[in-house]
Structure 1
Amino acid sequence: MGKVCLGDVARERRETCRTGGEGLARVGLEHLAPGEVTLAAWEEGTENTFTKMFRKGDILFGRRRAYLKKAAAAPFDGICSGDITVIEAIPGRIDPDLLPFVIQNDALFDFAVGGSAGSLSPRVKWEHLQNYRFELPEMEKQKRLAQMFWSVDRVRKAYKRLLQSTDELVKARFIELFGVPGSDTHGWGLKTLKDCCLLNPQKPKKFKKIPPETRCSFVAMPSVGEKGELDASIIRPYSEVCKGFTYFAENDVLFAKITPCMENGKGAVAKGLCNRLGFGSTEFHVLRPIPGVSDPYWLYAITIFEKFRRDAEKVMTGTGGQRRVPISYLADYAITLPPIDLQERFADFMRQSVRSKAELQQAASDLDAAYRRLLAENLG
């Protein structure tokens, strides 16, 4: 078939709900997950002003901040936010099962970003999106491609479930050994985190003698993941980073304090630092374990519990995108302090989980790269 415009094979649905939407699911921009092909979150029975209809099989495209890459196929009829463009396949022009992959495509998102207008909340209109050009094969090949892409998507979701299960297993093991964070199940007594670790430690005075060319790891916020990943491969000389950045060392715990990184779970145990020394974003709080008192993996595990993050969100200071968790929240957080040998037993378990996750994440990354390559080769 050759090159076509998106508007040749799909159109914007401009249907309005005039019944108040009773009994219909409601989808906001926050329900669209970046990179996900199918809708997995929505609300029911809540009041809002949504009136834009979508039908089963339509694509919900997040037109605000298109760089977030939010677009998903709807598994049912419903109503959605005005910041979502509803796209439907034109019968006979394109296989409806292939359309989600045409749209959930890096090239299309780049095109959308290029046509977005506005500074704080850039939005793209269908009038621009419809001009996106891509390669579309004959219908028979479209069906084969759709089957292949949906099969790949199922495997991607399976990897994601396995990774989530690994995280939940770590939390379950923590509760089994120590009880729910904040409780004193075993009668060890409650302390605060400032009793169990050093918070935001200062550089030692002896650092004044460090040669300026000494190599150390530099960890910016993007180098820390939401599942405990940390990339320590960026190396800088000490003289470049010793001022104006957060200092930390091997085995310290990094906790992202700024929104939305904190809410999303960014944090990690600092491992593999060059010369066991690191500097990074000023938006990290640092928790340093005390030898014989606390283990870094035990400290990190406390910070990954949802309640810990929810409670932290309640005390954030600042406005808009500059809200931060004060260090006082960590300092005063009540926690039972278990024996160090029990913490180390938990750490052994968690290290094994980290290795398993790393293998899963590598496999998932390889699959995702192959998936993106196939999209570009067949629908570019």
Structure 2
Amino acid sequence: MSRVKLGDVAFERKETLKNNTGLPTVGLEHLIPEEIELTNWDEGADNTFTKVFHVGDVLFGRRRAYLKKAAVAPIDGICSGDITVISADKDKISPRLLPFIIQNDSFFDFAVEKSAGSLSPRVKWQHAKEYEFELPDMDKQEELAELLWSMNATKMAYKKLLQKTDELVKSQFIEMFKDYPRERFDDFCSTHARIGWQRLTSAEFLDEGDYYLVTGWDIMPDYTVAFNQCKYVTKERYEQDPKLILSKGDVLLTKDGTLGKVAIIGDLDKPATLNGHIFVIRPKDDRILPEFLIGLFTSEDFKRQMETNKTGSTIVGITQKAILEFMIPVAPVEKQKEFILFMQQSDKSKFELEQAIAELTATYKKIIADNLG
């Protein structure tokens, strides 16, 4: 075991190619935070990229390193100038281990510290290569790489199961409600949002207080609201529009920016309202169950209708009028309850998978810290 600098065992590939016609292209948007394998890229897209990478190179997103973007390339191609292409010195470090040196919290913390610039901080290779870590002998490196890649494969398998569970719920919704008549959404639900003069400025987002302010950032993938990370507003702003005061069973739907995030309000430990980027939706009577709306808003049919009706170019959104005019399947409450039970069972399976992923990730990071720290 010896302590080395990244630049002692790896180098920045500086190969360029001006005539890049037909090569796969990778931008920062193709790098997924904290995922070690590159799985997405463009083919035949117009671009000005000239930086070459080869199979096995590590593509490190040097802009905004806190996003933790670094992945090993399974193909040859070209990439953005905001990506540093890092190659292993095969006599000194296993190419299979290098991705885990780069895709780890310690390296990203170092890169953030060495970044320059305020709006879009970037780290240069001349600084990143100074990162120090423990490196075992080559046999131990191969053993460690084998273990880490095996753990990564298990994690990705869990993630695929999560995706398939979501797809199963969507398919079940279609199958259960495809033959029911459709009626206008506003016949069954009311929809409210902050109108222009009620909008909040960022200066009104408080770090503490008695009245939660829910934003799109607070809506979680499991359709809940993370109140522990919410900002706050004054009592006057909270009381400004009674229709925006949240209650248990209210359904939230983001209407612009990140379009279509959904949540249902559970128990509240403090009063809450919402910002101008979210609709609050309430069934008018007992013909529609709030939990059923979660299935509706995450269905492919609803997403297609949103895509057809969205407005704007810089900030894409959906209007209240368009929501109210959506045509939705109208099924008996008992049928809705049947679907809700199926969705809850699926959510339980997802929760167990997510726990397994979290535990695996924690173990994976500990192995890296203990062996490469």
TM-score bracket for this pair, using the shorter chain length: 0.7 to 0.9
Sort the Cα spacing of 1:107 and 1:256 in 2 relative to 1 into closer, same or farther, 3 A. Answer: farther
Which residue is equivalent to 2:200? none
Contact 2:184 2:325 in 1 (8 A): yes
- Which residue matches 2:149? 150
In 2: Cα distance, 1:115 partner to 1:244 partner: 46
Unaligned runs of 5+ in 1: 180-184, 203-214
Structure 1's 178 and 307: CA in aligned 2 closer, same or farther, altered over 3 A?
closer
Aligned length: 356
**8 Å contact kept, 2:170–2:300:** no
Q: Distance in 2 between matches of 1:99 and 1:240?
A: 55
What is the identity, as a one-letter code, of the residue corresponding to 2:223?
Answer: G
Q: 2:189 aligns with which of 161, 180, 197?
A: 197
- The CA deviation string for residues 60-109 of structure 1, in whole angstroms up to 9 with x for no partner, is 11122222111110011111122211110112111111111111111211
CA shift for structure 1 position 282: 4.4
| Equivalent residue runs for 1:6-85 within 5 Å | 6-22=6-22, 24-85=23-84
Q: CA deviation at 1:32?
A: 1.0
CA distance in 1, matches of 2:41, 2:223: 27
The answer for the alignment partner of 1:287 in structure 2 is: 281
Cα separation, 1, equivalents of 2:6 and 2:240: 48
3-state DSSP class of the match of 2:163?
Answer: helix
Listed one character per residue, the Cα deviations across residues 150-188 of structure 1 (whole Å, up to 9, x for unaligned) are 111111101111111111111001000112xxxxx43x2
Alignment of 1:379 onto 2:372: yes
User: Are the equivalent residues in 1 in contact too, given 2:188–2:285 (CA < 8 A)?
Assistant: no
Deviates more, 1:309-318 or 1:346-355: 309-318
The one-letter code sitting in structure 1 at the alignment partner of 2:83 is I
Amino acid at match of 2:221: E
What SS class does the counterpart of residue 42 from structure 2 fall into? coil
* Preserved CA contact (<8 Å) 2:212 2:272: yes
Q: CA deviation at 1:334?
A: 2.4
Are the aligned partners of 1:192 and 1:334 in contact in 2 as well (CA < 8 Å)? yes
Aligned to 2:170: 171
Q: 1:48 to 1:234 in 2, by over 3 A?
A: closer
Give yes or no for contact 1:34–1:71 (8 Å, CA) kept in 2.
yes
TM-score (norm 2): 0.84
Which consecutive residues of structure 2, in runs of 5 or more, have no partner in the other structure? 195-209
Distance in 1, Cα, partners of 2:237 & 2:365: 36
Once the two structures are overlaid, the 10-residue window that deviates more, 215-224 or 97-106, is 215-224
| AA matched with 1:288 | R
Conservation of the 8 A alpha-carbon contact between 1:217 and 1:233: no
Contact 2:6 2:131 in 1 (8 A): yes
Counterpart position of 2:296: 302
Q: Is the 8 A contact 2:252 2:263 kept in 1?
A: yes
Classify 1:101/1:247 alpha carbon distance in 2 versus 1 (closer, same or farther; 3 Å): farther
1:253 corresponds to which residue?
251
Residues 274 and 151 from structure 1, CA distance in 2 versus in 1: closer, same or farther, beyond 3 angstroms? Answer: same
Aligned partner of 2:108 in structure 1 is 109
Contact 1:4 1:134 (8 Å CA) reproduced: yes
Aligned to 1:350: 343
Residue 206 of structure 1: aligned partner = none
Task: For residue 292 of structure 1, give the secondary structure of its aligned residue in structure 2.
Answer: coil
1:100 aligns with 2:96: no
Output the CA distance in 1 between the equivalents of 2:10 and 2:118.
Answer: 28
Percent identity over the alignment? 45
SS of corresponding position for 2:282: strand
The alpha-carbon distance between structure 1 residues 313 and 175, as it changes in their structure 2 partners (threshold 3 A), is closer
C-alpha separation between the residues in 1 aligned to 2:239 and 2:105?
A: 38
- Say which SS state the counterpart of residue 48 (structure 2) adopts: coil
Give secondary structure in 1 for the equivalent of 2:11: strand
| Residues 88, 306 of structure 1: alpha-carbon distance in 2 compared, 3 angstrom cutoff | farther
* Bigger Cα displacement from structure 2, 161-170 vs 246-255: 246-255
SS in 1 for 2:346: helix
Q: Choose 13-22 or 308-317, whichever is displaced more.
A: 308-317
- Structure 2 CA distance, aligned partners of 1:244 and 1:376? 51
Using the alignment, how far apart are the partners of 1:77 and 1:13 within structure 2? 13
Cα distance in 1 for residues equivalent to 2:120 and 2:302: 30
Secondary structure at 1:134's aligned position in 2? strand
CA distance in 2, matches of 1:274, 1:351: 24
TM-score relative to the length of structure 1:
0.83
